[in-house]
Structure 1
Amino acid sequence: LSKRYSRGGNLNDLELAIAVGRKALRMMPLQLEFRRDETNKRRAHVLMYGSCLNNLSNRLRSRYERTGKMADLDDAIRYLRFACQFGDLAPQDYLASWLNNLATMIRNRYYRISHIPNLEEAVQIARDSVGKTPVGHKSRGTRLSNLGNHIQMLYERTGDVKYITEAIETARLGVSCCTPGTLDYAATLDNLATKLSWKAIKDEDVSAQEEAIRLSREAADILPPDHPEQASYLHNYARQLKLFRIEEKAELRRLWSQAWKSFNSPYVVRLQAARFLTDFLLDSNKLADAYDLSMEVIDFLPQIHNKSLTLHDQQFVATLFSGFATHACSLALHFKESPAKALDLLERGRGVMLSLMTDETKDRKAPTSEQMMCAAADGAIVVFNITTLRSDAIVVMDTEMKHFHLPNLGAARTQEWLQKNLTGGSPRERGTKNKAYRNFLTWLWKSGVKTIMDGLQYTFNADLTQLPRVWWIGTGLASFLPFHAAGDFSMGLAESALCRVISSHSPTIKSLIHTKARASRNIPGRALRNQLIVTMSKTPGEEDLPGVIEEAVAVVCATLEERAHVVALSQPNPEQVLREIDQCDAAHFACHGISHSYGPLWSGLILQESSTQQDVITVRDICESQHRHRELAYLSACSTAQSRSDGLVDEVLHVVSSFQVAGFNHVVGCLWPSDDAVCARIAASFYSTLNAGFISKHGDKAAPLAFQMAVLEIKLDKEYQKRPLDWAQYVHYGA
C-alpha cells in the first residue's frame, strides 16, 4: 500500500496503510523479558517491533507532508524515538535507518516551529545514522544527502559559511554513492542543487549557478509522471531558473504550472508553486491567467483547511493562502465582475480560521448577496481592498452594493506610510510622530474615506446619536488601517469620520453576520448584570500601570450604579480569569497586551503565574473556551486589535477577534500601545454613558456610540487635539 501510494499518490492507499500499521502494532505488544538462552529470540522480537514502529512512523510522516497535521508528525517522532531506545538489540543497519528517518522528521518539526534545538538534534542524529552506515551500503547516499539537508538548514539559520561548505561536500558524497538514473540518485541531485544555489548566491559563483540548474533539471527529468515528489523537483528547478536565468520565462511558467497541477504531491509545495506562478503572471501582465489561477487556489482551500486540523495546523495552512483572495478581488474588479463576485472571493479566501471556529454548520460557503445586504440593514459595510494591482472599496447597503475605485489609495503609498512605524518609538519622538500621523490620517481621509462618505451622502452632524453606523473591513495592506479616525482635522470635525458615522470594525462579512445573529438572541436593552474586572498594575518584566487602579474604580462605580454584580481580580493567572469569564456578561481587562510576530495564536493578555513570573492568556486559550453569549469585552491593553504576523494578516486573528469567537457581541481594543491616563478616562466615560436607559434607547448601537463619544471627548481636549497617537488606536468590533 505504501509503495502504491509513493507511485500514484492516492491518499486512500496511505490511510489504509496507516490503519494496517496501527493494527499490526496492537497485535504485537513489546516483550523484553526472555530467558538468558533466548537472546536471539529477544533480538528478533525487538527487530520486528522496531520495524513496525518505523514503518508506521514513515506512513504518518507521509500523511503529515500531504495534510499538514502536526499530530501525525509528533506521533511519528514519538514512535521512532521509542524504537531507537532498543537500538543496541537491533542490527546496526536497521538502527541506522531508523535514526535517518528520525532525523528527517525532527528537522521537519523545526521547519514548522523554528525551534533551533530540533535542528541541532536532527544534525546529531543524522551524523550518527551515517556513522552506522558502512561504505558501499545501498542507503549510504541518501543518508549522506539527508545529513547535508540538515546542515544546510543550519546555514540558513546562522549564516555561518562552514555549514554550507560542509553541506555541499556531504551532498556530493551522497550523489557519488547512488546509481545514476534511480529515484535515490534524483533525490540526491535535487538536494545538491539546492545547496549549490546557496553558494552561488553567497559567492556570486557562476559555475555553481550553472551546476545547480543542470542538476535540478536532471533530477526533474528522472522522476516519473504523477510521482508525489514531482511538484517539489519542478519547483526547485524553477527556483534555480528564477534565481539565475530569469529570462527563461516560458520555462518558468511551464514548471510552476506543472508543479501546481501535480495533484498527487504535497499541497505545501503545490501552493508555493502557485504563489510564484501568480506573481509571475501579474508581473507579466497575464491578468486573465492570474485571475483563473487565484480562483483555482481559493476553490482548493476547503479541501485542506477544515475542522479536522488543530488551530496550530490551521494557522500554518492559512499562511500558504495569504494574499490570493485580495488579488482575486482586485482581478475580478479589473475584469468588470460584479461587486458581489469580488466579495465572494474575499469571503471564501480570508478569515478562514475565524470561519471554522464560529460556523456551527461547517458551511464553508461565503454569504450570499442577500445575506450580506441583510447584514447591512442597520448600517453600511465598507470593504477596502488594496493590492499592487489596484485599490478599491466595496460598500454593502441594505438594497444594493456599490463599488468605488480608489487610485490615490495605492499599495506603494500605503506601504510607505506603514513602514514609517509612526505608532512606535521612544517618548521623545512622540511630538514628531504625532505630526506625521496627523498627515497620515489626512491622506487616508482624502485618498479613500472621504470618497466613501461623500458617495453615500454621509454628512457632518455634531450630534453623534443621529449618525448612521458603518462597519469597516480592511483586507491585505488595509487590514489594520484606522478608517474610523481618518480626517483632515485642519478643517475641523466636519472633514472626518468621527462626526459622519458611528464606526465599528469586523474581520469579515461572514463574522459580522454571525455576531449579529448571536446578538439578536439576547434580550434587547438588557443592562450589564455581571461584570468581571481584571487589573494588572504590576506585571513581571513590564512597566507598571498605576492608572489601572483609577480605571478599575471608575468601572466599578459605573456598574454598581446599575446594580450589577462585580467580580474584581487583581494580579490573576489565566486559569482564574478563564473560570470567571464563564459567569460574566461583561469583562474589562486593564493590563499589558502582546502581539506575537510568529503567529496570532500566541498573542494575548499578559497576566502572571507568580509575583516574579508573567503568564499569558493567549488567543488560542480564548478561542478554545467558547462560552454562552456575552455582551461586552473591554480590552484596555496595548495592541489587542493588531496582528504582527505578515503571513496571516488576512486572517484578522488577534486578541479582539478571539473574544468575538468566545461569544462576546461587542469588543473594544487598541491597534497600538495606549497612554495609561487616556485609557482610564475613556473607560470611565464609556461606562458612565452605557447605562440601562442608554442601552434601551439605542440597542446594539449603544456600545459603539458610547465608545465613540468617549474617544471624541479625548480628541476635543486641548491637551490631545494634536496628539492622534493617544486616541486614534481605539476600535470597536462587533454587532
Structure 2
Amino acid sequence: MDLRQAWISLRDAERDGDEAAIARAAGVLSELPDDVAERRMLAEILGYAAGALIKLGPGHLDAAVALADRAVRLDPDAKLAMSLPIALALRSAATTRLADLDRSIAVGGRLSADEAMLAVATTAMRAARGGSLDELDAAIDVGRRTVAGLRRGAPARQVRAVSLGDALFARYLRTGDTAAFTEAVRVVREATSARDRDIRAYAMLRLGEFYLAGPTSLPGFMLLFQARQAERLSRPVRMLRVRALHLLGQVQRQRGDHRRAVAAFAEAAGLTDAEPVQRAVNARLWGDTAAEAGDHHEALAGYRAALDLLPWITSWRADRTDREHTLSAFVGLARDAAAVALQIGDPQAALVLLEQGRGLLLEQLMSPRARLDELERVAPRLAARLDTTIAAMNEPATVGEDLTGRARLVRDLDEVSAAIRGLDGFTRWGLPPLFADLEGVARDGPVVVVNVAASRCDALILTASGMTALRLTELTLADATAQAERLPDADNDVLREILAWLWRTTVGPVLGHSALRPLLDAPTPPRLWWVPTGRLALLPLHAAGDALDLVVPSIAPTVTALLHSRTRPAPAAEARMAVVVVDQVPGLPTLTGARRDARMLADRATRLDGLTVSGPEGYGVVHYACHAATDLGSPSESHLVLGPELRLSVTDLTRWHLRHAELAFLAACGTIRTSGALADEAVHIAGGFLTAGYGQVIATLWSVNDQLAHRVATHFYAGDPLDAARALHHAVTAIRRHPTYGEHPTAWAAYVHLGR
C-alpha cells in the first residue's frame, strides 16, 4: 500500500468510526519508508494519524508518540507537529512518566506562537510535579497575552482561556495565591458558554474541579448542578468522562449522598478506556465512600477494583521514580481494604489484600528472580530471556526515549511469564498470592503482620497451627503517625516513651496472646518475624518492652518478600566474605570505627576498594562500613557513600542481580529510613539490598555512633554471620547489658535484621 492509499484508508476509517481500521491504517503508515518523494506530505499524514490515535485513548498513545515523533523529524514545521507534544503530555498523564512531560514542554516551546498555549497547559501539569514556579509564571504571562489578543466569544479564545485557567489554578495549588484562583475561575467561566460542546464540557468540568478544591465554593445545590452539567456534556467525550464522574461523585459525597456517590465512582472505575490511574483513584473513592456509609461488602468491592489496577499503574513502562510518585497517591489503600475485610470477619482475605497492595516495587524485582535458579534447571532458555528482559526494563528512562521499545519489553515479559506459567510447578508465576501461598510462612517461627488503618488496627498472627486475628484496640493510625514523626529527633527519653507506647499498644498484646504462649515457653528465644505496615514500619517495633528477652526478632517488608528470600539456595557453610570500608570522605566526619571494622575482618574477608556496576558477585557476606544518606523527598536516591564521587543508591541496587549473596551488613546510619508515603514499599537502602539478591540484611533505623557500631559488629561476628538474626540478637543483648550503654536505647534499638 502506498502513501495515498494509506491516507484514504485512514480517512475512511475515521469517517466510519472504525477504531480497529484506524489502528491498522496507522500501522501501515508507520512502515512506509522515509525516502518517499512526498516527504512533506508524509510528515503531515503521520501527524494526522497520530492525532487519530490520540482520540482512541491511552492504549494507543505509544503508537501516537512514535508516529508524531517521526513526523517532526521529517518536517519540524509540519502543520500537525502539535500531535507530538500533545501525545507526550497525554502519555505522561496516563503513565505518570515525568520524562514525557518534560519533553512535551521542550518540543511545544519550539512551535509557532499560535500554538504557544500548549506550553502553558503542559507547564501547568509540570508545576503539579514540582516544576519551576518561574516557568509557570512565564507561561501564565504567555497565556494572558494570547487570550487578550483573541476576540471574546471566539472558540480559539475559549480553548485558550481554559488552558490559562489550568495554569492559574496550578499556581494557586502551589502557592495558595487566592488572586490566581479568582482569575482562574473568571477566565474559565467565559468558556462555559461556548457553542462547541467539547469546549463547554471541559470548561464546566474544570470550573467544578476548581470550586471543589479551591478556597471558596459554590452553594451545594449550584455545585451539584455544575457537576451534573459536566457529566452530561462529557458523555460523548471519552477522555473527559472519567473526570466528570469523579467530580460528580465528589460533590455527591460532600453532600452526604453516599449511594449516588458510590454509583458515580464505580462507573468511573469501570471505564476500561480511561487512564488506569484515574480508574484506580475512583475505585478507591468507591471503597472509601461505601465504608463511610457502613456498607463494608460494597467497600471491599471498590478496594478490590483499585488493587487490581495497581499493577497497571506501576507498570515497567514508567521510570522507577514515576512509579514511586504514583504509589504515593495510594498510601494506605491495601491497609484500608484489609481493615474492611477484617470488619466483615475475613482475616484470610485481609492478609491477601495486604500482600496484593504493598511492596509492589519489591515484588516487581524479587518475584521473577526468586525461583530463577529452579527455572534455569527446568527451562534454561526461558530463564535467560526473563533475566535479559528484566535487566533491560530496569534501565532508567531518559528524556526523549522512544517508549515503543519499553512497551515491547513489557509485552516480552508478559509472554515469558505466560510461557513460564505453562510449566509444571510454575502455574502461579508472577500472579498475586493466594492465602494457600502465604499460610506456610510460619514454618521457621511465627510471623506477625500488624495492619494500621484509620478505621481499626489488627495483628494477624501466623503460626504453624494457622492464623489468628487480634484486634489492637489501643493502637490507632493517628498515634502511629505521631510517634513516627517524633522518632528522627528522639533522644533517649523520647525513645523510651516510644518503646513503652509500642509495647502497650502492639507488642505486649501480641506476645501475650495465647497463640504464641507455647512458643515463648521454649528454653531459648524463638525466631519471630514482624511485618509492620504504614508508619509503624519506621518504628523500633522489635525492641519494645521485653520483646528482645522473649524472641529473636526480624523484620520483613511483606510476607511475600519473606517467602521469596527463603526460595534462594542455602548459603555455603564457608561463604566468601568481603568488606567495603570508606572511612574518609571530604566534608564528612572520619569513621574510625569503620577503620577498626576493616582491621577486625582482615583475616576473614577480602577488602573491596570499588564496586562494579553489577555488584560484588561471588561473595556470600559483604560488610559495608561507611556513611549513608537518606533522601526523604526521593527515597530511591538514598545511598551509601563509597567515595568522594561514588554513591551506591537504591536505584543502583535494583540493577544488581547477585545469585549467591546471603548477607549484607550495613554499618551505616539510617539504612532502613524512608518517607512515610512509601513506608509500605520499603524504598530504602536495606530494601535495595533485598532486591539485589541478599537473603538477609542488617540495617539501622537512625544514626548510630561510629565507635558503638564497631562494638556491635565485633559481637555480631563472634557468632555465625549466616545465622544473622541470632548473631545480631547476641550483639544487641551484649550492648543492652553494658553498664554504660544499656540505659540508652538510642545505642541498641536502631539495629534491625531483615530477611529470612
Normalising by structure 2, report the TM-score. 0.78
Letter in 2 for 1:227: R
Q: What is the match of residue 350 of structure 1?
A: 358
1:506 equivalent among 542, 556, 566: 556
Letter in 2 for 1:545: P
2:271 match: secondary structure:
coil
Query: Structure 1 residues 65 and 445 mapped into 2: Cα distance closer, same or farther (>3 Å)?
Result: closer
Structure 2 residue 175 is matched with structure 1 residue 158 = yes
Instruction: Kindly state the Cα deviation for residue 528 of structure 1 after the two structures are TM-superposed.
Output: 3.5
Name the CA distance, whole Å, in 2 between partners of 1:189 and 1:512: 50
Q: What is the match of residue 567 of structure 2?
A: 517
Count of paired positions: 658
Name the CA distance, whole Å, in 1 between partners of 2:662 and 2:73: 61
In the TM superposition, 1:39-54 aligns within 5 A as 49-54=77-82
Instruction: Kindly state the Cα deviation for residue 669 of structure 1 after the two structures are TM-superposed.
Output: 1.0
Name the CA distance, whole Å, in 1 between partners of 2:126 and 2:12: 24
More deviation, 506-515/431-440: 431-440
1:482 equivalent among 540, 552, 560: 540
Letter in 2 for 1:109: R
Instruction: Kindly state the Cα deviation for residue 26 of structure 1 after the two structures are TM-superposed.
Output: 4.7
Letter in 2 for 1:558: M
Name the CA distance, whole Å, in 2 between partners of 1:4 and 1:480: 56
Name the CA distance, whole Å, in 2 between partners of 1:399 and 1:348: 24
2:199 match: secondary structure:
helix
Q: What is the match of residue 631 of structure 2?
A: 596
Q: What is the match of residue 528 of structure 1?
A: 576
1:53 match: secondary structure:
coil
Structure 2 residue 740 is matched with structure 1 residue 719 = yes
Query: Structure 1 residues 631 and 45 mapped into 2: Cα distance closer, same or farther (>3 Å)?
Result: closer
Letter in 2 for 1:551: A
Q: Is the 8 A contact 1:241 1:252 kept in 2?
A: yes
Q: What is the match of residue 259 of structure 1?
A: 268
1:618 equivalent among 649, 653, 669: 649
Structure 2 residue 453 is matched with structure 1 residue 387 = yes
Name the CA distance, whole Å, in 2 between partners of 1:17 and 1:637: 58
Name the CA distance, whole Å, in 2 between partners of 1:239 and 1:683: 55
Instruction: Kindly state the Cα deviation for residue 485 of structure 1 after the two structures are TM-superposed.
Output: 0.7
2:594 equivalent among 530, 551, 570: 551
Instruction: Kindly state the Cα deviation for residue 416 of structure 1 after the two structures are TM-superposed.
Output: 4.4
Q: What is the match of residue 338 of structure 2?
A: 329
Letter in 2 for 1:633: A
Instruction: Kindly state the Cα deviation for residue 607 of structure 1 after the two structures are TM-superposed.
Output: 5.2
Name the CA distance, whole Å, in 2 between partners of 1:30 and 1:605: 56
2:239 equivalent among 228, 234, 251: 228
Gaps of 5+ in 1: 33-43, 88-94, 488-495, 570-575
Query: Structure 1 residues 399 and 459 mapped into 2: Cα distance closer, same or farther (>3 Å)?
Result: closer
Q: What is the match of residue 35 of structure 1?
A: none
Letter in 1 for 2:126: R
Once the two structures are superposed, residues 274-319 of structure 1 have per-residue CA deviations (whole angstroms, 9 ceiling, x without a partner) of: 3333222222211111112112222233344333433223223323
Q: What is the match of residue 732 of structure 1?
A: 753
Query: Structure 1 residues 609 and 103 mapped into 2: Cα distance closer, same or farther (>3 Å)?
Result: farther
In the TM superposition, 1:32-431 aligns within 5 A as 49-70=77-98, 72-82=100-110, 84=111, 87=112, 95-97=113-115, 99-116=116-133, 119-120=136-137, 122-127=139-144, 129-130=146-147, 133=150, 137-175=154-192, 178-179=194-195, 182-197=197-212, 201-202=215-216, 212-224=223-235, 227-240=238-251, 242=253, 245-337=254-346, 339-360=347-368, 362=417, 363-398=429-464, 400-419=466-485, 421-424=486-489, 430-431=491-492
Q: Is the 8 A contact 2:672 2:700 kept in 1?
A: yes
Normalising by structure 1, report the TM-score. 0.80
Query: Structure 1 residues 456 and 109 mapped into 2: Cα distance closer, same or farther (>3 Å)?
Result: farther
Query: Structure 1 residues 13 and 645 mapped into 2: Cα distance closer, same or farther (>3 Å)?
Result: farther
Letter in 2 for 1:552: R
Once the two structures are superposed, residues 206-230 of structure 1 have per-residue CA deviations (whole angstroms, 9 ceiling, x without a partner) of: 66x6654443332222122572211
1:403 match: secondary structure:
strand
Name the CA distance, whole Å, in 2 between partners of 1:656 and 1:45: 44
In the TM superposition, 1:539-578 aligns within 5 A as 540=587, 544-546=588-590, 548-553=591-596, 555-562=597-604, 564-568=605-609, 578=613
Q: What is the match of residue 437 of structure 1?
A: 498
Q: Is the 8 A contact 1:380 1:396 kept in 2?
A: yes
Instruction: Kindly state the Cα deviation for residue 710 of structure 1 after the two structures are TM-superposed.
Output: 1.0
Q: What is the match of residue 667 of structure 1?
A: 697
Name the CA distance, whole Å, in 1 between partners of 2:243 and 2:129: 17
Q: Is the 8 A contact 1:14 1:59 kept in 2?
A: no
Q: What is the match of residue 59 of structure 2?
A: none
Name the CA distance, whole Å, in 2 between partners of 1:713 and 1:171: 68
More deviation, 409-418/511-520: 409-418
Instruction: Kindly state the Cα deviation for residue 162 of structure 1 after the two structures are TM-superposed.
Output: 2.8
Q: Is the 8 A contact 1:632 1:666 kept in 2?
A: yes
Instruction: Kindly state the Cα deviation for residue 704 of structure 1 after the two structures are TM-superposed.
Output: 1.4
Query: Structure 1 residues 370 and 291 mapped into 2: Cα distance closer, same or farther (>3 Å)?
Result: closer
Query: Structure 1 residues 422 and 127 mapped into 2: Cα distance closer, same or farther (>3 Å)?
Result: same
Q: What is the match of residue 527 of structure 2?
A: 469
